[in-house]
Amino acid sequence: MEALDVAITPASPYGLRVDNDQTYDCVIIGGGFAGLTAAVWLGRYRRPTLVLSAGPPRNAASHALHGYPGFEGANPETLLAALRREAGRYGIAMTQALVEQAERTNEGFAAHANRRRYRAKRLLLATGIRDSQPDIPGFDQFAGTSAWHCPACDGFEYSGKPLAVVSWGPQMAGYALELLNYTDRVTVVTHGHDPGVPPDHLDKLTANGISVHQSKITALQGRKGQVERLLLDDGTNIPCDGLFYSINHQPRLDLIRQLGCATASDCVVINHKQETTVPGVYAAGDIVPLEELVVVAAAMGAVAASNIHKSLIPDSRRVR
Ligand SMILES: Cc1cc2nc3c(=O)[nH]c(=O)nc-3n(C[C@H](O)[C@H](O)[C@H](O)COP(=O)(O)OP(=O)(O)OC[C@H]3O[C@@H](n4cnc5c(N)ncnc54)[C@H](O)[C@@H]3O)c2cc1C
């Protein structure tokens, strides 16, 4: 991954000044697709802005991005690097930093990272989702090349092909049935777990020709990132061209909760401006319960940026 600029950008060619000790118009926490799109737009609105980001984006393991209009098959990191360059050209400051704490202050907000305190009039949280991966020996060799999480992102490429689904828990049946949109050759493996679904869900899977194996997966076999079969501890082997998994995924809401923003059913509550219940704190991207897609994350970033900008226009420049 190309590192973020560690130094604070001194000044933009367009005259936007940012420096270490100022109160930024906006601090963006999370430099993925939502955060960086917001950064580009806040740069265009000439709003002094800082992006604090640490760690990879959600789809870091994937080599090809699908469904982002005009960029089919682009490498996700290449797109992010382009966004960082674009934001940098507008004078947006970017620092590699894991924000551990965010708080309300008299003048707005503060984000704590790298043993420093960054002040802001507005905060945008674009921290994304944390996915759990199945604990299968050798899984990493296939993650992002033939083991996937999102049917909408990667299902099309498996049209008509045999798929293994590794999942258990309440979402399992819906997730497996969703893949029938692409292929009728779907087999579920719960990897030693109880399926955790009501009997009528299992009946629906059976009625749709989906068998459910409850044995533990001992190995994934394949070559060069291409999975070919799953080996189970009861001796079964399941041939497949791709593996889809759904175990658990949680939006990163720690900072949202620290700031006192309302959540409902583990989701941040926002209005049509991407603003949370705490005025001045905005949220965008996968952290918000909507389609978890790059194009949606980027769009939310743009909407948040526009509303952050509008919220900072002084009354003396507004007419009713
Ligand atoms: C394997 C896989 C393949 C996918 N393929 C596609 C695809 O083909 N097409 C598609 O449209 N979507 C795809 N997605 C979904 C896509 O990755 C997400 O929708 C997108 O990344 C969401 O963007 P985001 O900006 O909300 O979050 P992210 O891109 O995840 O960015 C969030 C950033 O915030 C950082 N961060 C988190 N907490 C902190 C903190 N406290 N301080 C500082 N930084 C922090 C994270 O490390 C990360 O860099 C895929 C997902 C996966 C898992």
Alpha carbon of 57 to ligand 1 centroid (Å)? 4
Residue 74 per-residue DSSP state: B
For ligand 1, atom 53, name the residue with the nearest CA: 59
SS3 249: strand
**In the chain, ranges of CATH 3.50.50.60 domains:** 23-130+249-317, 134-246
* Burial of 281 (C-beta count, 10 Å sphere; 0-12/13-18/19+): buried
Q: Distance of CA 231 to CAs 60, 80, 158, Å?
A: 27, 37, 21
pLDDT tens, per residue, the chain with 320 residues:
444 443 344 444 455 555 567 899 999 999 999 999 999 999 999 999 999 999 899 998 888 999 999 999 999 999 999 999 999 999 999 999 999 999 999 989 999 998 999 999 999 999 999 999 999 999 999 999 999 999 999 999 999 999 999 999 999 999 999 999 999 999 999 999 999 999 999 999 999 999 999 999 999 999 999 999 999 999 999 999 999 999 998 999 999 999 999 999 889 999 999 999 999 999 999 999 999 999 999 999 999 999 999 999 999 999 98
The arrangement of secondary structure in 134-246, i.e. its CATH architecture, is 3-Layer(bba) Sandwich (3.50)
Ligand 1 atom nearest to CA at 68: 11
57 lines ligand 1 (CB under 6 A): yes
Please choose, from the candidates 310, 308, 289, 277, the residue with its C-alpha nearest in 3D space to the C-alpha of residue 104. 277
Alpha carbon of 91 to ligand 1 centroid (Å)? 24
CATH 3.40.225.10 fits 23-130+249-317, yes or no: no
Between CA 207 and CA 180 the distance in angstroms is 12
153 lines ligand 1 (CB under 6 A): yes
